[in-house]
Amino acid sequence: MIRRKRTFAGRVLVVALALAFGAVSANAYTIVMRDGRRVEIPDVFTVTGSMLTYETSPGIQVTIQLRTINIDATERANGAPRGSFFTRSNQPAQANAEPPQEQASARRSITNADLEDYRRARLASERAYEKRRKELNLPTVDVQRQQVAAVTERTTEELRNRRSRTEADEAYWRERATNFRTDIEANEAQIGYVRQRLSELPVSYSLNSYTSLYPLGPLSVLNPVLNSGYRRYPSPYNRRGYRYGPFGQPNLITMPYQNEDYTYERQTLTNQLNDLLMQRAALQVRWKEFEEEARRAGAYPGWLRP
């Protein structure tokens, strides 16, 4: 009789285990990883982007990267047709699933007795602080507040003064840089004008030659003895003709000749150009020294820019 009871109890236990295992299997989904491992997850999960997400308990979620899952082996392990993995993951939750129950938050009403306890605790803390302050010979709370206010006021005033000094320094360095740039631009403009004027002046020569329209006169006037040895040649300027000499041709005269002389202006412009070029070199040196002075004084580089 005892053996029959034991046999019956064993059968009931086996049936209960089988039902429990079937229930667990029905609510689980097997994930096969690429390295061969198997992971049992709840039957409800979601796939977003490259991640698989499922919930192990309320408020706790676990994510698995899809590139680590063997999707074909997962579908075979769950006896599902090919391509059902993504379809199953996108199915909504079952309609008969129970909605999550809101956790009841503990609430407590604060009474006047509680406030009285807080007041007594605050007073006790203040008395302890006052006792400790006297032991350390520290100033009172009011004095400390006044000291903090004074420090705050001094700090604010110092920041205000520092800002004013910074603005004044910036204006000073910007004004000097502007004056330097004005001098440099004026020098460059003068150099350009002088060079253009020099290029416009024509090239001039100090000597030129020409043939006189009228000869100096018959040589017989100067030497009557030679009058018989010269011939008279007709002249287009005088029908009576003139005695030209033994060669019978007009005189060729060479003398200094120039229509307009630019030598003085050219020399003046050349000297002026040399002076301007020297001024340019001096301005460049002064600008370098100015930049070094500003750097040593703590001026920001942006203050020297236009």
| pLDDT at site 166 | 93
pLDDT > 70: what percent of the chain?
66
**178-208 pLDDT, tens digit each:** 999 999 999 999 999 999 999 998 876 554 4
In the chain, where are the structural domains located? 2-89, 119-169, 212-252
Residue 253 near residue 212 (C-beta atoms within 8 A): yes
DSSP string, 75-119: HHHTTPPTTHHHHHHTSPPPTTSPPPPPPPPP-----HHHHHHHH
If pLDDT is split at 50, 70 and 90, which confidence band does 268 have?
A: very high
Of 289, 283, 285, 286, nearest in space to 189 by CA: 283
Of 37, 16, 15, 41, nearest in space to 28 by CA: 41
pLDDT > 90: what percent of the chain?
30
Which has more pLDDT, 150 or 2?
150
State both tokens at 38: 């198997």
State both tokens at 249: 């041709």
